[in-house]
Each structure stands twice: as C-alpha cells, then as structure tokens.
C-alpha cells in the first residue's frame, strides 16, 4: 500500500501481476538455426604435404596478405608423418593471384627436388560454394552439425571442406550442388529464407564499417579440450553424418571439425581423415563409441590427443581486412609454436597448439596482433599450476558484452574481454 503523507486518502494498493506462461515459439532454445547462408563466389587453393613445422602458415598467409588478398575459410588438417595440408578459400576474381602466391612458395617448402614426391603440391578448385547454418541456439547442443551433414548426405552432396565455430557450421561443396543444398537445409531447419553473400554496395559498405573497428576484440585460451582423429574415413556422402550422429546420440558436443584435403587410396577406396575437438572429459566416450562403429564404416584407427589447447582470436573488425590471421600465425612462429590444426569463420581464427607451449606463451598474442595501447588484453598464468585455468587480467573498459561476438565460448575457457563485460 502506498499512501500520501499530506492527505487521508486510502492510497494505492500495489500488487504483482499474475505470472503468465511465455510461449517458446521463436526462442533460440526452439530454433537452434536462425539462417542458412550461401556464397557462390568462392574458390579453393590447397597446399598438400607441406612440412609440419612452425612458420609454414605464417609464411604462406603473410605473402597472401602482402598481395592484399582477403581469405575466407582457412583449414589446416591433422598431420600425417612429418607433413600436413593447408587449404583456404578466396573470391573467384582473386584465385589466380592466390594460386600464384602458393605456387611461388611451394618450391621453398619442398625437402626433395623430385616433383614425383608430391611435396607442397598446389591444388585448385575453381567451382565451389560455401553453405552455412547460423544460430546462437546451437551452442552446447549436440547434433546440429550432424543434422546438417545428414541433410547434405540425403541430397547426395559431398562435403569438400568443413569449418565450425560456436554459432556457425560451414561446408564447401561443389557449386553445382548449391541450390539443392540451400533448399534441403532450409527445409531441414525450418528456415524461411537464405541470405546470400553477394558483393553488393550494401555488403561493401558493411565491410568498410567493419574496417573502422579494431581487427581483434578478444583472445581466448581453452585448456580443457581433446582432439579425436579418425584415420582413413571413406570419402563418400554420409560419412560425416554417421560420425556426428553417433556422437550426438552419446551426448558429446563437438567444437572444431576438420576434414583433410589429401585423399588416400586404401584397398582401392578413396579416404580422408576427419578430426574434431571435444571437452576433455568426453574424449574417452567419443573414442569408444567411434571405435565400435569403425569396422562397419571401414575406417582406420581412432586416436585421442589430450595434450592440446585451443587459442582463438575474435573480432568483427577482421571482416574484409587481409592479414589478421597471418599476424596470429607469425606470432606463433616467432615463439616456435607449431600449429596442429586451423579453423576459421568470418570473425574468428582458432588454432590447436601443444598445450604446454600454448600456456607458457599465452601473453604473446597482444603486441603482435596490434591491440591499441589503451585497450590491451592479455592472459597471465598462475604460478606453480601449469595446467589450471589462467587468471584473467584486463587493461581497459572499452566495450560491453553486447559488443563482444562471443560472450561465452565453451567449457574450461579463459577469455580476454573488457572489464565492464563482466
């Protein structure tokens, strides 16, 4: 009851409203995917069998950046022996220059002069398209990526590249399959429209706006992941769907997913390797589930590596700005840290590194990546606890959580952000 101190009026009785049930329609918990996006202005360049040592990615993408070439997806697969594969996508008009850069660097990466050895082989695919599902509701929800792979498999569409982030899964497919993929994905996820990434005046204006922002707004170090690698997966539509359906049935959430570019013939069957990261506590379950299924699938061994860490940089300002990933790779190369896997999206670059080295050098990402002096962000390890979550230190309060692309990123995550983002 609220009454006036000046009169004898009875006053006003204040009561709380009767709680009303809220419909779930439209909420992220109901719709994990908000949009299906596609981009047909894509071409792929791959370097196969490059040396597995620090500095290779830095050198390649450093040269790409000097040519002012904007790279979209970057994939580095798990190594085999002393080599691995690096692939990236560019716009079709940029392909000839990107191919020329890769071809110029390739001879310096070869340890044998004999071209028959196939070291640092340059492979180009001119007619590909990228299809993506996007939605904040897929965070921490097993099975969303599996449903995408199922949908593409049912349409008999083979996946050439896979790249994932917390709110997006992207697949490179044959350009001729793009329309069927869009229709199938929109139907599967109940999405009414599919935005295209045409290079229009509006998109160019958005890119210019992004370039006015700092290229990187935060860095993250995750020490509680493990990598699971499946060797010699038959290269046919539906294999990725079977793998990630099985993991979803065991309630295992997957973070990074990488499919190797190199194709190997095993008993006359074309195969590729598939690797992915999961929470370390789920690694044993994931390995056991897949090992039980490999005889039926015809896959090779299943290997788990717990001595890895994931380092990511995030920022909307890296859109349309060549060289951001190259500077990250350069910082790692200078610290003699070998990159084991790479996965990217438009606003995020993630690398898998040896855990011990990643923790020891986790402060190196600030100066080389060009953070403004007034908004420096860094990690400070805790003494005497080499593999505990690092202590978060900040040096500015320039942005809120609303401006951070990924307010929460995953289990066991140490995250750099501004003070008032909490």
pLDDT at res. 379: 30
pLDDT at res. 196: 60
pLDDT at res. 276: 94
pLDDT at res. 396: 30
- Predicted confidence (pLDDT) per residue in 289-316, tens digit: 999 999 999 999 999 999 999 998 888 8
- Predicted confidence (pLDDT) per residue in 320-338, tens digit: 788 889 988 988 888 889 9
Specify the pTM: 0.73
Residue 176 has pLDDT above 90, yes or no: yes
Beta carbons of 311 and 415 less than 8 angstroms apart: no
Q: At CA 371, angle to CA 363 and CA 342, rounded to 5?
A: 65
Sorting pLDDT into bands at 50, 70 and 90, what band is 11?
confident
Q: How high does pLDDT run on average in the chain? A: 78
Percentage, residues of the chain above pLDDT 70:
74
Lowest mean pLDDT among 33-37, 39-43, 111-115, 176-180: 111-115
Burial of 294 (0-12, 13-18, 19+ CB in 10 A): middle
Residue 116 has pLDDT above 60, yes or no: no
Sorting pLDDT into bands at 50, 70 and 90, what band is 113?
low
- Predicted confidence (pLDDT) per residue in 227-277, tens digit: 999 999 998 888 999 999 999 999 999 999 988 888 888 888 889 999 999
pLDDT at res. 317: 83
Q: Which residue has the higher pLDDT, 3 or 158?
A: 158
- Predicted confidence (pLDDT) per residue in 21-77, tens digit: 555 455 445 678 888 999 999 999 999 888 888 888 999 999 998 888 889 999 888
**Secondary structure element (H or E) that encloses residue 369, with its range:** none
Residue 415 has pLDDT above 50, yes or no: no
Helices 239-249 and 283-297 cross at an angle (nearest 10°) of 140
Q: Which residue has the higher pLDDT, 399 or 107?
A: 107
Q: Which residues of 24-47 are buried (b: 16+ CB within 10 A; e: fewer)?
A: eeeeeeebbbebbbbbbbbbbbbb
Rounded CA gap, 419 and 397, in Å?
5
pLDDT at res. 371: 43
pLDDT at res. 400: 33
Euclidean distance between the first and the last CA atom of the chain, given in angstroms as a whole number = 37
- Predicted confidence (pLDDT) per residue in 353-412, tens digit: 998 887 776 665 544 444 443 333 333 333 333 333 333 323 233 333 333 333 333 333
Q: Residue 170 gets which letter from DSSP?
A: E
Q: Which residues of 249-268 are buried (b: 16+ CB within 10 A; e: fewer)?
A: eeebbbbbbbbbbbeeeeee
Beta carbons of 259 and 159 less than 8 angstroms apart: yes
Structural domains of the chain, ranges and CATH numbers in brackets: 35-211 (3.30.2130.10)
What does 392-419 look like in DSSP terms, one character per residue? EEE------GGG-S-S---TTEEE---G
């Amino acid at each position: 009851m609220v009454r006036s101190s000046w009169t004898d009026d009875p006053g006003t009785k204040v009561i709380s409203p009767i709680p009303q049930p809220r419909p779930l329609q439209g909420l992220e918990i109901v719709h994990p995917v908000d949009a299906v996006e596609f981009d047909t202005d894509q071409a792929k360049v791959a370097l196969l069998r490059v040396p597995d040592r620090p500095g290779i990615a830095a050198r390649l993408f450093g040269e790409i950046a000097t040519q002012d070439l904007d790279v979209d997806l970057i994939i580095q697969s798990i190594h085999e022996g002393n080599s691995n594969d690096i692939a990236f996508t560019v716009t079709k008009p940029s392909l000839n220059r990107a191919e020329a850069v890769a071809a110029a660097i390739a001879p310096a990466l070869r340890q044998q002069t004999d071209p028959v050895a196939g070291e640092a082989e340059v492979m180009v695919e001119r007619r590909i398209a990228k299809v993506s599902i996007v939605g904040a509701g897929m965070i921490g929800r097993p099975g969303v990526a599996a449903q995408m792979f199922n949908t593409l498999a049912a349409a008999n569409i083979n996946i050439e590249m896979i790249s994932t982030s917390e709110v997006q899964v992207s697949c490179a497919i044959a350009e001729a399959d793009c329309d069927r993929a869009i229709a199938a994905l929109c139907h599967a996820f109940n999405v009414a429209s599919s935005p295209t990434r045409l290079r229009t005046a509006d998109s160019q204006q958005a890119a210019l706006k992004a370039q006015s922002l700092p290229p990187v707004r935060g860095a993250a170090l995750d020490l509680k992941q493990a990598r699971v690698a499946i060797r010699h997966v038959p290269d046919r539509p539906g294999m990725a769907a079977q793998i990630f359906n099985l993991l979803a049935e065991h309630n295992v959430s997957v973070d990074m997913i990488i499919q190797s570019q190199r194709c190997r013939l095993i008993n006359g069957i074309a195969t590729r390797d598939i690797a992915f990261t999961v929470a370390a506590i789920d690694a044993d379950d994931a390995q056991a589930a897949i090992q039980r299924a490999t005889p039926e699938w015809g896959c090779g061994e299943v290997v788990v590596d717990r001595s890895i860490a994931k380092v990511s940089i995030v920022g909307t300002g890296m859109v349309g700005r060549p060289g951001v990933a190259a500077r990250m790779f350069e910082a790692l190369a200078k610290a003699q840290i070998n990159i084991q896997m790479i996965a990217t999206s438009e606003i995020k670059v993630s690398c898998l590194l040896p855990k011990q080295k990643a923790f020891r050098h986790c402060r190196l990402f600030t100066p080389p990546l060009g953070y403004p002096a007034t908004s420096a962000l860094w990690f400070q390890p805790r003494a005497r606890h080499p593999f505990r979550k690092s202590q978060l230190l900040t040096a500015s309060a320039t942005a809120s959580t609303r401006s951070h692309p990924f307010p929460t990123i995953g289990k066991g995550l140490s995250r750099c952000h501004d003070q008032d983002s909490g």
